[in-house]
Amino acid sequence: MHETRHGVALPETPREFGFFINGGWRGDRDLFERNSPSHDIPVTRTSRCTPEDVNDAVAAAREAFEDRRWSGLAGGARAAVLLRAAEGIRQRREEIATWEVLENGKPISQARGEIDHCVACFETAAGAARLLHGESFNNLGDSLFGMVLREPVGVVGLITPWNFPFLILCERVPFILASGCTLVVKPSEMTSATTLILADILAGAGLPAGVYNVVTGTGSSIGRALTEHPDVDMLSFTGSTAVGRSCVRASADSNLKKLGLELGGKNPIIVFADANLEDAADGVAFGISFNTGQCCVSSSRLIVERSVAEKFENLLAEKMKKIRVGDPFDPQTQVGAITTAAQNDTILNYIAKGKAEGARVVVGGNALQCGGGRFIAPTLFSGVTPSMTIAREEIFGPVLSSFHFDTLDEAIAMANDTVYGLAASVWSRNINHALDVTRRVRAGRFWVNTIMAGGPETPTGGFKQSGWGRETGLLGVEEYTQAKSVHIDTGERSHWISS
């Protein structure tokens, strides 16, 4: 009999997936069994592909690109496929959300919201497919006309992480498809289910065979083979800065493929004394706890004006104590499980380092027992100094470090005191302060009196060691194109060689 959690039946046996190449499913490989991080039961079995499978997938994507079965279509025809895919995701929303919860451990309410965002990504990309255009230069004289064409870059390798398996996938795939490229996708071996479900949805939406291919397995084997492949024209990778560096090296050593990288973050959230402190406290609590802090744009460094620091930290601590941590199938749960055992150990080790180096735990700082699985209480450290480990390194968990400032310039300097530059937030009723901080803090995404707001209409990406390139929005389509300059002579040639 199926065990149920809040009306959701847990699988009695793991769901088995093949891998997807050239419009068809393949199997007959060793299997990787994934346990639910929330329930400690096996939930999926996915194929351990081989480097030869990567070769087959790249060859299928290359053939599909070169014969122009996708890139040769009008933007409107590509848009129609993307809109049908959006509807397919909408119809399978509950199924996708369930498998996100089972493999990742995130709350069901959050997973549903993410899938709604994914639908929006496909719809936005459909519009972008129609709007993608180049430029014309009618100012070169009567005898010369110039154009800049936007052409798809070719075969794209896409490597996605385990923290947002479907969301990050859908912030990439429809925009890549809108450009006319073909893809080979390698999801995390921990969370492959929804990437494979998308293959089924895209095929049903009429995407030609070979345009979207999925190979599954480890990063060290399959990810590396894809990164080093000489027939992949561009690689998009989301993950750690350390692995991002290895992608740069692999590109240099293979075919100098173009790279799109979204990497680590140590993101500041600056709170001025004149802010609505209740609103700011709620925003800070959300910013560090969303997706269990396993989020590249998590607000992991609180920089609060000293005159209100004690009051604000007390407000924040009361907020964080009320965060509902537990079974992710409970619709009331706000923070679910830590996705991997290794990451759970990493977070707890950082908490221990913070304590050992003299930071003070205001709230949290411990693992929680929630009837099985791996859970950590949202944690606030005060008295953090810039030299502490928890102040410098990305923890990738629900751990927040608090710093105090006296002047605007000091706040900006503290915000920029990191090798990263992915996201930032400022809270103030003073528009001059807010605008000054927005202009001077180096980050690719910025929020004023809010956090993690916005949609796929605007671009995402980082400064400094947080990555290269931009995703989503029209820039997220252009990222997967090459610009070609064309000059057309409309007059008689003035001969270089005299007759």
State the amino acid at position 270 in one-letter form. Answer: I
Angle between helices 108-131 and 75-91 in degrees, nearest 10? 170
Q: How many CB atoms lie within 10 A of CB 393?
A: 16
Measuring CA to CA, which residue among 420, 418, 426, 347 is closest to residue 386? 418
Q: Which residue from 12, 343, 53, 39 is spatially nearest to 185, judged by alpha carbons?
A: 53
In DSSP terms, 400 is beta-bridged to 380
Burial 156-192 (b: 16+ CB within 10 A, else e): bbbbbbbbbbbbbbbbbbbbbbbbbbbbbbbbbbbbb
Paired tokens of 93 = 């929303």
Of 123, 262, 478, 479, which residue is the catalytic one? 262
The helix/strand/coil state of 322 is coil
Other Cβ atoms within 10 Å of 307 Cβ, number: 13
Is residue 103 annotated as part of the catalytic site, yes or no? Answer: no
Burial class (CB in 10 A: 0-12, 13-18, 19+), 218: middle
In 3D space, the residue among 51, 21, 15 whose CA is nearest the CA of residue 33 turns out to be 15
On the 0-12 / 13-18 / 19+ scale of CB atoms within 10 A, 422 is buried
Q: In what order do the strands lie in the sheet with 481-489?
A: 135-137, 144-152, 481-489
CA distance 320 to 198: 35
Enclosing H/E stretch for 496: none
Cα angle, residue 362 at apex, residues 357 and 367 outer, rounded to 5°: 80
Catalytic residues: 262
